[in-house]
Structure 1
Amino acid sequence: MQIKRNVLLNPGPATTTDSVKLAQVVTDICPREKEFGDLMEYCATEITKFVGDPKDYVTVLFGGSGTATVEAILSSVVPENGRILIIDNGAYGKRMCQITKIYKLDTVVFESSSIEPIDLKALEEVIKGEKGLTHLAMIHHETTTGLLNDIAAVGKLCATYKISFIVDSMSGFAAIPVDMKAMNIDYLAASSNKNIQGMAGIGFAICNKKALLATESIPMRNLYLNLYA
């Protein structure tokens, strides 16, 4: 069976192959049955293996866009007395800032060029100067310009200053190698429709299990998008 294909030249979703399209033609599976749960668990485990050991990291799946997953992380993991620094060097960094503003999270914005590497010395000075930072969030690969950010270097800074590290890797995941443990990443967001080249509609957050379990006491700011739940 040959399926007509349009070659998509947008940043994502990606053009899908016939094999991906036809893999969906299966007997209906009830989402309340064990078979569905087993399938979800298998997918979550295999996704985790791209970037970390499933003993230490776990993938949480959402029916929603990549932005829904980023919103889930930001709204779920920053405590009421927390403070987050966001690196804004493109459209998706700005979107993170929009999300934290809506949730009224105490946010420090580090503005950087959308085409030049992040000034790590300047970033460290801001981290040292801003008291009470608990989290840092940034984009891995800024889709709008193609800028690849040095998440390993920023991860080292987060380790030094004991800050929880959040990375949006929508257009980096499964194309650019990531080791969450080595890069000190606690939460990584990605989706089904970029480098995995699956169908759009599934976002996922890959989480450090210890960090995720520690968020249990944070009051829920929403229902469906709560990461711990």
Structure 2
Amino acid sequence: MAGDMSTSASEGFEPPALGEPYLLTPGPLTTAYSVKQAMLRDWGSWDADFRTMTADLRRGLLALIGDARGEYDCVPLQGSGSYCVEAMLGSFVPRDGKVLVLANGAYGLRAAQTMKYLGRAHTLIDKGDYLPPRGDEVGAALDADPSITHVLAIHCETSSGILNPVAEISQATYARGRKLLVDSMSAFGAVPLEVGQIRYEAMVSSANKCIEGVPGFGFVIAKKSELEAAKGNSHSLALDVHAQWATMEKTGQWRFTPPTHVVAAFLAALKMHAAEGGVPARGARYAKNRDVMVDGMRKLGFETLLSDRWLSPIIVTFFCPAHEKFVFSRFYELMKDKGFIIYPGKLTVVDSFRVGCIGRMDEHVMRRVVEAAAASLAEMGVDTAAPPASAIAERAKLAA
């Protein structure tokens, strides 16, 4: 990749700086040396140079949605992705509005919990861990409840790794005169979300996901008309998207202390994203990472939670092996010793773990991940990674 000091054309991506392990998670993730290096300078948050950085950040993100008409704007917000989801819901849903929350994992359920905290009306479609919400289900729910004003969809549900069909959800939503809000936390930057192809009022994502920055802020991309209409909706001073947007439009500054170093790192990451070839190229690399890793893990006997149709290029969930000597905590430590930090499972029905495909790594690294998994199983005395028959039966039953 252009500008990346850690890339080797013959061996793929070199190990992270300072002997760090690879983070095989949905973010924070492994970042390039140049992204880390960008944080070595201090910035004045009110200084003109930093105001220019903020403007560059906003323009750079808007360039990823194909907004030819200039109908959208970008509003960065301090905090994690969940802060931004709450900010979006609290700012764009009127106090007398009602949200249809589409859940098939922890993050959809967290959005429903957020609505409870906000004290605003909502209803829930919960598809469990194995399947996505579909357009016809959304349409039926909207037809049955005319009071619903908004639909919230999770673009990639990382508790299972499922990539949800946002395009058909959008079609069902707008065919009935409602509005769509999208949590694209773990997909934006690698999975297309162009407004000319998929209609939505607002979406949120985070610095430490597919753009490959570091944690510290997220961002809302929304129609300017929605931003204007959001005045007075918010339940919160700090999470008021309209107020943040109005201040940035007037002064170029964040309302409260911005994560200056994180912004500088993100701009470095955005440059690398563009040099790689933008969303299509970033998505293609992640998809290759997934395919190489899944193929290798299956050869060891591991089984994916999801069918190939719904596997995202972001993160993959595997059933834990049935072998009596397999203990996930031990497997985790052995993988870490070999330079790879994997992710625990987040399912309620079966034991599982997850392997992320995003971050500053390529297919060569993913082959080493499989080699490390094979060696770790051998050290544990596990001769097959096949899952319990009950897990496969449960998957078949729930997916039927």
Same fold (TM over 0.5): yes
Residue 194 of structure 1 is matched in structure 2 by 209
Residue 8 of structure 1 is matched in structure 2 by 23
How far, CA to CA, are the matches of 1:181 and 1:211 in structure 2?
Answer: 17
Residue 242 of structure 2 is matched in structure 1 by 228
Runs of 4+ off more than 6 Å: none
1:39-95 residue CA offsets vs partner (Å, 9 max, x unmatched)? 101101101111132721111111210000001001111112111110011100001
Alignment of 1:20 with 2:22, yes or no, is no
Alignment of 1:37 with 2:51, yes or no, is yes
Is the 1:69–1:225 contact (alpha carbons within 8 Å) kept by the matching residues of 2? yes
1:81-127 residue CA offsets vs partner (Å, 9 max, x unmatched)? 11111001110000100100001110011121322232332221111
Residue 101 of structure 1 is matched in structure 2 by 116
Query: How high is the TM-score relative to the length of structure 1?
Result: 0.94
Within 5 Å, which residues of 2 pair with 1:1-229? Answer: 3-26=18-41, 28-53=42-67, 55-216=70-231, 218-229=232-243
Is the 1:89–1:111 contact (alpha carbons within 8 Å) kept by the matching residues of 2? yes
- Runs of 5+ consecutive residues of structure 2 not aligned to the other structure: 6-16, 244-400
How far, CA to CA, are the matches of 2:158 and 2:101 in structure 1?
Answer: 17
% identical equivalent positions? 32
How far, CA to CA, are the matches of 1:74 and 1:204 in structure 2?
Answer: 13
Instruction: Evaluate the alpha carbon distance shift between residue 14 and residue 228 of structure 1 in structure 2; reply closer, same or farther with a 3 A threshold.
Output: same
- Structure scoring higher RCO (CA < 8 A, sep ≥ 6) equals 1
**Residue 144 of structure 1, CA deviation:** 1.0
Is the 2:99–2:121 contact (alpha carbons within 8 Å) kept by the matching residues of 1? yes
Residue 294 of structure 2 is matched in structure 1 by none
Root-mean-square deviation (CA, aligned residues, Å) is 1.6
Is the 2:202–2:221 contact (alpha carbons within 8 Å) kept by the matching residues of 1? yes
Is the 2:66–2:196 contact (alpha carbons within 8 Å) kept by the matching residues of 1? yes
**Residue 164 of structure 1, CA deviation:** 1.5
- Runs of 5+ consecutive residues of structure 1 not aligned to the other structure: none
Is the 1:48–1:57 contact (alpha carbons within 8 Å) kept by the matching residues of 2? yes
User: What is the number of equivalent residue pairs in this alignment?
Assistant: 227
How far, CA to CA, are the matches of 1:9 and 1:140 in structure 2?
Answer: 20
Is the 1:180–1:186 contact (alpha carbons within 8 Å) kept by the matching residues of 2? no
Is the 2:97–2:121 contact (alpha carbons within 8 Å) kept by the matching residues of 1? yes
Is the 2:62–2:73 contact (alpha carbons within 8 Å) kept by the matching residues of 1? yes
Is the 2:136–2:172 contact (alpha carbons within 8 Å) kept by the matching residues of 1? no
Q: Secondary structure at the match of 1:199?
A: coil
Q: 1:127 is matched by which residue type in structure 2?
A: L
**Residue 24 of structure 1, CA deviation:** 1.5
